[in-house]
Amino acid sequence: MQMYIRHFLWVLRRYLLLIIVGVVVCTVLTGMVSVVKTPKYEAVAMVQVSMANGDNTNDVFSNQAQAVNFALKMTTTDVLKAATQKVPTVSVEDLRESITAAPVDGTQLIGVHATTSNAQLSADEANAVANAFIEYEKTKETQRLQAILDKLRSQIVTAQHEGDQTGMTSLQDTYSNVQTQLTLLDGGLFLQDQALPPTAPNGTSLVVNAALGFALSLIVMCVLAILLDWVDVSVKTPEDVTQLARLEALGSVPLRKGSSLLTPSTIASDEELDEAFTVVSASFQALYNGQRSLIVTGMRSRDGVTVIASQLATSLAQSGLRVLLIDANLRRPKLHQIFQANNSRGLSTVLPDVYALKKQRSQLPAWLGQWKTPTPNLWLLPAGVASVPPLTVLRSMELRKLVEWLVQDTNDQGGASAVDLVIFDAPGLDEQADVSTLAALCDSSLLVVEAGKVRKEGLKTAQALLQRLSAPLMGVVINRQKETHYPYFYTGQEQQVEAPVEVTPASKYALLRPAEEVVTPQAVSISAPMHSSPRTVSQASSTPSSQNMPPASVSPAPRPVASVPSTPSSHGIPPVPATPDLPTAQLPVSEINTPSPAVVRTSTPIPEMRKSGSSPSYEPVEERASQVERPAQRAAASRPGGWKTPSFKKVMEENNPRPGSEPPHQQSRN
């Protein structure tokens, strides 16, 4: 209960300005209406109904019932016409609008109410109608009783002439009763209280009206504030990303006023901003699974994607990853302004260099060196001066080849690739053609959302789009979050759970890496001593894994372990060195409790596993025999020219077979 009270108080504080404006406007309008409105005066005349002589209960109830009947007759046309003779200044229609009559509950009284803009006129109208009705009823009843008496007299005379003594006696008794009724009729209806001119207008005073307007408007505005908070399901915080959209949240960046771009020096001088970007970078590294290319995009083109991409690239480079940051927002390039770099050459102009690099691949490090930034391990490829349409550049095969060569592991320099990660600073999803083209080049994606501008349905749509483009969404960054932004409060308890972490597939360029460094997210080979217990291969393989992984296989004989390249791990932790001269075993991830996987050679191919739907089980995607170094391949590599790395096109065909066709490795088996 205390939590709800605190939240509602926060809602009132958040919408305080709206509440104040609404209350002030309503109160002022109420006062103005009270002042401008013509005052009305109401006068009341009371008519007593006493049609029976007795004081018993039946007589009282009879009079009350008769009062209801008389109240309905009091505003008839005949009565109002008679009243206009007493008040010549009004007409029948005026009286019909101003006169109302109603019995007083629990009494034998009828109240005649007259409401006009003049106090004296109200009293005159009420008295006139009351007196006119009394006279009208008396006259009508007198005429009726007099007619009965006249008829009885003639009947008595007739009975007397005929000598009918009995009939004459009965008629005389009836005549006497009717005369009694005629006598009592004079006191049956009379004016109990005469209407007096009212001294004050009808209704409440100006102060009372203003107070009522203030109280009612305050209640209405508070309810409106809570209603606005309830219907606002826009994503404003990382908690909203997790609870509403059920996606991974990497963090949030606070709002900073000003139109200038946030440069690294500006961010470093702002402690809150620096801490926010540190959290985003740490969250990304926790989810980083060896992807070789990443597209950073936003829901809209002006959501601050460029700043997020530049800071993420800088943080990853400082942690030890070799990062190439490419400004792929060719329509509105900004990265060269942040890094204060020359934009005369860039992505739009250097693609012809691919033809030269195709013949001299050894010149790739030298070509990359021209884009070096002051930050170690970080290179920046600006957009360059656009000479061709942006889509032409992004769709070019040269760009695909360039990315392939940059992330492809080579036999030179210990088998390391030129860079560990290529980050594309892309336009927003509102420029879907550019984003779709870039997403096809990337292994994963990162989405930037401006706080309070997108609903959860928008995030779901963006996730589905990126998933279709084979660039699964790693996480969402909330940008420009205000201090007044709080998580959505009305989420049901059944939704208050952590968002499921999606299994990000391996890099699209994984087949281009040497066998010594092949690591899949789901199955990892580590060096493990085999002398701890006499466990046989059959026993190990018969034990089911918690994730339905393939059973561990033991090498039949010890063999030297390949040296692990000195490439930093995804979390900034040095790779675990393999133990030489010991048998190796391939174990599932569920049996490994190490912070960073060690990479060794294995004599059997490592099948890549992919999570199917929401099921906890895993299914093998493909046993990539080309990923495992075999003696024949090593022998071929020692020959002049070595063995050729599969082309990018062939790799993509093997990873994405056409519908109805079998993967190449299955075709060979058949």
Position 543 in a domain: no
Q: Give yes or no: residues 109 and 33 share one domain.
A: no
The predicted-structure confidence for 142-169, as pLDDT tens digits, reads as follows 888 888 888 888 888 888 888 778 888 8
Percentage of the chain lying above the pLDDT 90 cut: 27
Q: So what's the pLDDT on residue 625?
A: 35
Is residue 654, in this structure, part of any structural domain at all? yes
Task: Say whether both 28 and 60 belong to one domain.
Answer: no
pLDDT of residue 324: 95
Between residues 601 and 384, which one has the greater pLDDT? 384
Whether residue 537 lies inside any domain: the answer is: no
DSSP H/E element including 18:
helix 16-36
Q: Which range is most confident: 22-36, 163-177, 654-668?
A: 22-36
In a domain, 612, yes or no: yes
- Residue 414, token pair as written in the block: 């210990």
Q: Tell me, yes or no, whether 88 and 76 share the same domain.
A: yes
Say yes or no: 115 and 212 in one domain: no
Q: What is the mean pLDDT of the chain?
A: 74
Give the domain extent around 216: 14-37+205-231
Residue 507's pLDDT is 58
The confidence band for 17, taking pLDDT boundaries of 50, 70 and 90, is very high
Residues 314 and 455 in one domain: yes
Asked if 623 and 645 sit in the same domain, the reply is yes
Domain count, the chain: 4
Residue 241 CB partners (closer than 8 Å, separation 6+): 235, 247, 248, 249, 449, 459, 476, 478, 499
25 and 69 inside one domain: no
In a domain, 85, yes or no: yes
Of 325-334, 490-499, 660-669, which one has max mean pLDDT? 325-334
Residue 3 within any structural domain of the chain: no
Residues 450, 477 within the same domain: yes
CATH of the domain at 421: 3.40.50.300
Do 582 and 528 lie in one domain? The reply is yes
pTM equals 0.54
Whether pLDDT at 267 is above 50 = yes
Q: What is the DSSP letter of 499?
A: P
CA–CA distance, 238 with 253 (Å, rounded to integer): 10
Per-residue pLDDT at 555: 36
**CA dihedral (225, 230, 236, 237) positive or negative:** positive
Residue 122 lies in a domain: yes
Closest CA to 430 of 413, 447, 406: 447
How many C-beta atoms surround the C-beta of residue 32 within 10 A?
A: 12
User: Between these two residues, 108 and 497, which has the higher pLDDT value?
Assistant: 108
What is the C-alpha separation between 121 and 40, in angstroms, rounded?
A: 11
Chain segment 511-563, per-residue pLDDT in tens = 444 433 433 333 333 333 333 333 333 333 333 333 333 333 333 333 333 33
Residue 480 and residue 334 share a domain: yes
Q: Is residue 134 part of a domain?
A: yes
**Could you tell me if 93 and 23 lie in one domain?**
no
Same domain, 224 and 245: no
Residues contacting residue 434 through CB under 8 Å, at least 6 positions apart: 328, 329, 330, 331, 390, 391, 394, 426, 427
pLDDT by residue (tens digit) across 472-517? Answer: 999 999 998 887 666 666 765 434 444 444 444 555 655 444 433 4
Between CA 207 and CA 214 the distance in angstroms is: 11
Confidence (pLDDT) at 59: 67
Task: Give the model's pLDDT for residue 422.
Answer: 95
